[in-house]
Structure 1
Amino acid sequence: MSFMDNPQWLEPARGAAAGAPVPPGRVTLLGAGPGDPDLLTVKAARVLREASLVLYDHLVGEQVLDLVPASAECIYVGKESSRHTLPQEAIIDLMCRLARSGRPLVRLKGGDCYVFGRGGEEALGLAQAGIPFEVVPGITAAQGAGACAGIPLTHRDHAGTLVLATGHLRGDNDTALDWPLLARARQTVVFYMGVATLPTICAQLMAHGMPADTPAAIVERATLPGQRCLTGTLASLPGVAATEAVQAPALVIVGGVVALQPALARGMACAG
């Protein structure tokens, strides 16, 4: 439902005296984690159970939303590739308007708010508007994908550096990211939102010196039913992903740690 369909969301909080100034409500920027509701933090689960007004994103799972009381009002403001319910600036404006009505608000985002979740933009907008807020961190998708797929993001024998990068490229793909930095040896690079740009990502890493046989993986629907982990190399992974019709949400993981995935995945299956 659109907030335009329910204008009482913007009315002053109940109990406010007529004409009296209403102090802004507190906004909680809350990370819902990678999808599995069991991976919510204890604080996140408590905040959701106490929520009365929630703005939530596309990647927030239904089981997470089930924790919100039935009496709460939930507003969908999700963004998919080329399909935005509201542009980011409008979401920030809506958050400020709702908070100024005096009602506490939960801004529910997938993963962690401050890791490719635009939480920094929203927090800055609230700070500049003088609206009180707090941030409840969540497990970011890279952590969820690595743990559930059997890919340690760091390992003393393979990677002493972990880099998180966006795969949502803009403009000239040759300069959109710091490719020489990303192509360095002995590190793990995780690309968020990289399904559509996977061929470009792999080609640019190889063009900047990363060996074509570097292990690489793409993890689809990490932590959720139907999760898939497909492995290959920089040279082969785009073809594997295309053949298997990988769809978002998915993460791309590049580096020597991916070579550990078959053994660790077998061990996890035996333990389960």
Structure 2
Amino acid sequence: MTLGTVTLVGAGPGDAGLLTLRGLRALQQADVIVADRLGARAVLAQLADEGVQLDAEVIDVGKRPGHHPVPQDGINELLVSLAQQGRRVVRLKGGDPFVFGRGREEQLFVEAAGIAVEVIPGVTSAVAVPGLAGIPLTQRGIAETFTVASAHDQIEALGGGRDHTVVLLMGVNTLGHSAHVLAAGSRGADCPVAIIEDGFGARQRVTVGTLGTIAHLSAVRQVRSPAVVVVGDVVALSPHAGISPS
């Protein structure tokens, strides 16, 4: 039997309108779609609502905090097994496959089995979600550099000052620690911070504070994942910056 193929497709931050045309074509040509929870399933649902017909079988391997029904090793093996059956496999991943998406890990595993892999990038929430809140990650005279970090585990000190924007993904549960670490550096406790919840979803909400106040505000407002945290003076450019959270 002829080997199939695997295509890693970035679904973007959860809005089907931000799926690339190349990604859509891959979905339409697929025999099976192995989909993540965040971003990926939302995009598939939106496509169906818009009348886009996808004939592929959909296998859900989505993860939630503390609940991984299909571990990463199992996902890797599944991709190989499906492709060995001669099927055209799309691995649909939220955001961009290579931004905290373990995309390269999956690519290397599949290629080691002699199966061709194509990568189709996606729009990462690290950039798209702050844009919803009117927050540019760079701005002339305010910030020339930005860093994207996963705060799923407690972060260590990140260099730079308030002109060096920090974007934290998966950072709700460790927000208090992250704010303390960043405030202890040159940014200071009064450095602006924004949390954008459920960026392209129905629960989209923005909370703005400072490194000194954001943990308290988050608790009061019961901020929940998924959320993107932005730290730096660019937050003050947001139209939400002058609105007191309620």
- Structure-2-length-normalised TM-score: 0.90
| Cα distance in 2, alignment partners of residues 232 and 137 from structure 1 | 33
- The answer to whether the 8 Å contact 1:57/1:78 transfers is yes
Q: Do structure 1's residue 229 and structure 2's residue 183 form an aligned pair?
A: no
What is the aligned counterpart of 1:186 among 160, 163, 171? 163
Check whether the contact 1:218–1:230 (CA below 8 A) recurs between aligned residues: yes
- Which stretch of the first structure deviates more once superposed, 252-261 or 49-58? 49-58
Q: Residue 210 of structure 2 aligns to which amino acid in structure 1?
A: T
The partner residue of 1:243 within 214, 220, 226 is 220
Q: What RMSD in Å do the two structures reach over aligned CA positions?
A: 1.9
How far is the alpha carbon of 1:64 from its aligned partner? 2.7
Note the alpha carbon deviations across 1:149-189, whole angstroms, 9 max, x for none.
110011112211110000111xxx4xx53x142x5441111
Shift of residue 225 of structure 1? 2.6
Distance in 1, matches of 2:235 and 2:185, equals: 20
Query: How many residue pairs were aligned?
Result: 238
Look up the match of 1:129. Answer: 113
1:75 to 45, 59, 70: 59
Report if aligned partners of 1:57, 1:108 keep a CA contact under 8 Å in 2.
Answer: yes
Question: Any runs of at least 4 consecutive aligned residues in structure 1 with deviations exceeding 4 A, and if so which?
Answer: 263-266
CA contact under 8 A between 1:215 and 1:231: conserved in structure 2? yes
Q: Percent identity?
A: 43
C-alpha contact 2:208 2:240 (8 A) present in aligned 1: no
Matched letter for residue 58 of structure 1: R
Partner SS state of residue 142, structure 2? coil
- Name the aligned partner's letter for residue 50 of structure 1: Q
Q: Distance in 2 between matches of 1:70 and 1:108?
A: 13
Which residue does 1:62 correspond to in 2? 42
The equivalences for 1:86-235 within 5 A come to 86-169=70-153, 173=154, 176-177=155-156, 179-181=157-159, 183-235=160-212
**Residue-by-residue CA offset, 1:60-114 (whole Å, 9 max, x unaligned):** 2434343574532110001111000111111101111111111110000110000
Q: In the alignment, residue 199 of structure 1 is paired with which amino acid? A: G
Q: What is residue 23 of structure 2 aligned with on the other side?
A: 44
Matched, 1:24 2:3: yes
Confirm or deny: 8 A CA contact 2:130 2:228 kept in the other structure: no
Change over 3 Å in CA distance of 1:85–1:142 after alignment to 2: same
Per-residue CA deviation, residues 23-73 of structure 1 (Å, 9 max, x unaligned), is: 321101000000111111111122222222000001124343435745321
- Flag the structure with larger Rg: 1
Q: TM-score, normalised by structure 1?
A: 0.82
Counterpart of 2:37 in structure 1: which amino acid? Answer: H
1:51–1:69 contact (8 Å) kept in structure 2: no
Q: Structure 1, unaligned stretches of length 5 or more?
A: 1-21, 267-272
* 2:69 corresponding residue in structure 1: 85
Counterparts in 2 of 1:225 and 1:142: CA distance versus 1, 3 Å:
same
The answer as to whether partners of 2:133 and 2:240 remain within 8 angstroms in 1 is no
* Structure 2: distance between partners of 1:210 and 1:193: 21
Cα deviation code 1:126-155 (max 9, x no counterpart)? 122221010111100012212111100111
2:120, 2:9 → 1: CA distance?
5
Distance 1:243 1:124 in 2: 44
* 8 A contact 1:215–1:258 mirrored in 2: yes
